[in-house]
Amino acid sequence: MDLAKDDRVVLTLDAGGTNLVFSAMRGDREVVEPITLPSRADALSACLDNIVAGFSEAKAKAPAAPVAISFAFPGPADYPRGIIGDLGNLPGFRGGVALGPMLEERFGIPTFINNDGDLFALGEAIAGLQPHVNRQLAEAGSPLRYKNLFGATLGTGFGGGIVREGRLYLGDSCGAAEIWILRHKLERQAPVEEGVSIRAVRRVYAQHAGIPFDAAPEPKEIYRIGVGEAPGDVVAAREAFRMLGEIAGDALASAATLVDGLIVIGGGLAAAHSLFLPALIEEMNGTLTALSGERFQRLSQRAFNLEDPAELSVFLQGEKKEVVVPGSTRTIVYDPLQRIGVGLSRLGTSQAVSIGAYAFALSALDGKAARDGGAH
């Protein structure tokens, strides 16, 4: 999908517990200056009024009539039908709110709602890490190309998304890629999000620095402490991010056994990758022990840190060699190194979500047009 050449306009929304930020996409960029309105999270009627007002203003400022509305909204939700369930950070939504159908009736255009982790993964698969890595592989002469991707967002929570051969994989109940609820490696009664989140970094720093949780700085400051740019407990700061990497690596190793594709990391904590990515890769490349005592690799593939130049070089080159076709003199290039690349967002999380929302809408519209055309 060549988004840059598409002149259709799609209205977008970044929905949070505090603010609603509206805009419009055309091609691969925003064409409306962001419009911010309060979420009014505790009052459903006021929240819905602001959603309509925000989209109305974005539509009025758009350079052409929009063909669709497409945005990320927190779950649980029946995303294909546009029905939002009981939300933690938007308590006004209770009992099921048909947000998508409401907007379709109000604006007269198709409305698509998805999870932000899903749209982040789709944006990176279409215009971010996936095409970037595939170009690098082609330049290195490798026969390997990636068609599948798992997107992970590290921030307030631990989100995920799966893209399989260019299409989002949502699951039958819109519950695919809910990585946050995997078991925590060390605290087996807790979800992994308790170890992979902003609060987790602050908690571990507080424990190792010997201070109350409320006195722990935000992760951005903890990172600066860890790299020697700010005063504080360097050992505690480094351990806070190392632990994040270990716990996230355990969860992503489980995801990798099912998805077998690139892994792209985004979210606010991704900026601290130099402190957690080595531990994450080490965990993914760890071992398991059979009941017989035999040790073996956790993954059938080897995980590579694509942000490390030395690892990237090995990843791109692989172990390609020529093998002879039996009974023939013909040879075929073969690369026996099964591998997974783990890298950072090449678009930035917000831009990836916007591009994912835009691409999802256009793909759905084009698919419907093809189906309708085939029916005549």
Q: Are residues 43 and 156 in the same domain?
A: no
Residues 6+ apart with CB under 8 A from 214: none
Q: Are residues 290 and 154 in the same domain?
A: yes
354 near 361, Cβ under 8 Å?
no
The separation between CA 272 and the C-alpha centre of its own chain, rounded to angstroms, equals 16
Domain-embedded: residue 121: no
Domain-embedded: residue 44: yes
Q: Which of 252, 160, 241, 245 is nearest to 203 (CA)?
A: 241
Round to whole Å and give the CA distance between 117 and 269: 14
Domain assignment of residue 275, given as a range: 147-345
Q: Are residues 232 and 167 in the same domain?
A: yes
Q: Are residues 197 and 77 in the same domain?
A: no
Q: Which of 70, 252, 84 is nearest to 168 (CA)?
A: 70
Encoded amino acid at 292, one letter? S
Domain-embedded: residue 132: no
Q: Are residues 263 and 334 in the same domain?
A: yes
Residue-wise over 321-334: b if at least 16 C-beta within 10 A, else e? eeeeeeeeeeeeee
Q: Are residues 153 and 286 in the same domain?
A: yes
Q: Are residues 370 and 330 in the same domain?
A: no
Round to whole Å and give the CA distance between 216 and 312: 35
Domain-embedded: residue 216: yes
pLDDT in tens, the chain (376 residues): 678 889 999 999 988 778 899 999 998 889 999 999 998 878 889 999 999 999 999 999 999 999 999 999 887 889 999 998 887 767 778 778 999 999 999 999 999 999 999 999 999 999 999 999 999 999 998 889 999 999 999 999 999 999 999 999 999 888 899 999 999 999 999 999 999 999 999 999 999 999 999 999 999 999 999 999 999 999 999 999 999 999 999 999 999 999 999 999 999 999 999 999 999 999 999 999 999 999 999 999 999 999 999 999 999 999 988 899 999 999 988 889 999 999 999 999 989 999 999 999 999 999 876 666 654 4
Q: Are residues 221 and 305 in the same domain?
A: yes
At 369 the pLDDT is 66
Q: What CATH number has the domain bearing residue 355?
A: 3.30.420.40
Encoded amino acid at 134, one letter? N
Domain-embedded: residue 282: yes
Q: Are residues 273 and 327 in the same domain?
A: yes
Q: Are residues 11 and 75 in the same domain?
A: yes
Domain-embedded: residue 131: no
- Kindly give the pairing relationship between strand 68-72 and strand 19-26: unpaired
Round to whole Å and give the CA distance between 175 and 221: 34
Q: Are residues 78 and 212 in the same domain?
A: no
Residues 6+ apart with CB under 8 A from 219: 198, 201, 202, 240, 268, 269, 272
Domain-embedded: residue 270: yes
Domain-embedded: residue 130: no
Give the count of domains, the chain: 2
Q: Are residues 155 and 276 in the same domain?
A: yes
178 near 160, Cβ under 8 Å?
yes
